Every structure is written in C-alpha cells, then in structure tokens.
C-alpha cells in the first residue's frame, strides 16, 4: 500500500490517500475534511493506473473529478492522489514533491 499525506495550503484541509493495487487496477481511499474532496473520493474508487498518469485519451479520472467537484483549480490534492497511484503501481519511485511559495519584493 502507498500512503500520501497532502497539505494543500491555506485552507488547512489535509488529505490522506491510501492506494492499493488490486490486480491491474488501483483502489484509492481518501480522507479529508474538505467537502469537495469527499465528493471526489466517493466517486473515484478503483482506477486504471496507466490512465491516471497520462493525458492521452480521456485523461485521468482523478483530474476529471477534481474539475467536477473542486472549485479551486490550484488545489494540489488531485496531483497527490495521482502520485500515490503512480507509486503504488510501480510506475514511479516514492519521493516527496513540494511547491514553495513566497512574495518577492519588487
């Protein structure tokens, strides 16, 4: 099983993702206090990892559901879900990702 803990920023709605391979598909369980992410999680369930890591064809179901339920386009939770799926499927090594933001003086 692969676990991801995603701290999306100022909203404070941390998401925990558990991804587990089940044959050729990956079962995803997500916990978050964010209502939008809860709706995404309720619909996501089991996914094809190869679909999730590619923009070809229909593209990732995770991103489709994020667009459907999450009003905040910059929310990194969907990307974190896809990263967990990618690692669990053996398509990437586990490594932390980050975005550091700051306001620069002009």
What domains can you pick out in the chain, each with its CATH number? 2-88 (3.90.1010)
Query: pTM for this one?
Result: 0.94
| CA 84/CA 77 separation, integer angstroms | 11
What confidence tens digit (pLDDT) does each residue in 38-61 have?
999 999 999 999 999 999 999 999
What confidence tens digit (pLDDT) does each residue in 15-36 have?
999 999 999 999 999 999 999 9
How would residue 106 be classed by pLDDT, with cut points 50, 70 and 90? confident
**How many residues are there in the chain?**
106
């Amino acid at each position: 099983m692969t676990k991801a803990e995603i701290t999306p920023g100022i909203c404070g709605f941390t998401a925990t993702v558990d991804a587990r391979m089940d044959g050729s598909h990956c079962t995803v369980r997500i916990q978050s206090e964010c209502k939008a992410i809860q709706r995404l999680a309720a619909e996501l369930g089991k996914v094809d990892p190869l679909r999730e890591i590619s923009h070809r064809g229909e593209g990732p179901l995770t991103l489709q559901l994020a667009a459907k339920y999450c009003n905040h386009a910059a929310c990194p939770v969907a990307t974190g879900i896809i990263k967990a799926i990618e690692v669990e499927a053996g398509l990437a090594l586990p490594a932390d990702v980050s975005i550091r933001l700051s306001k620069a003086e002009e």
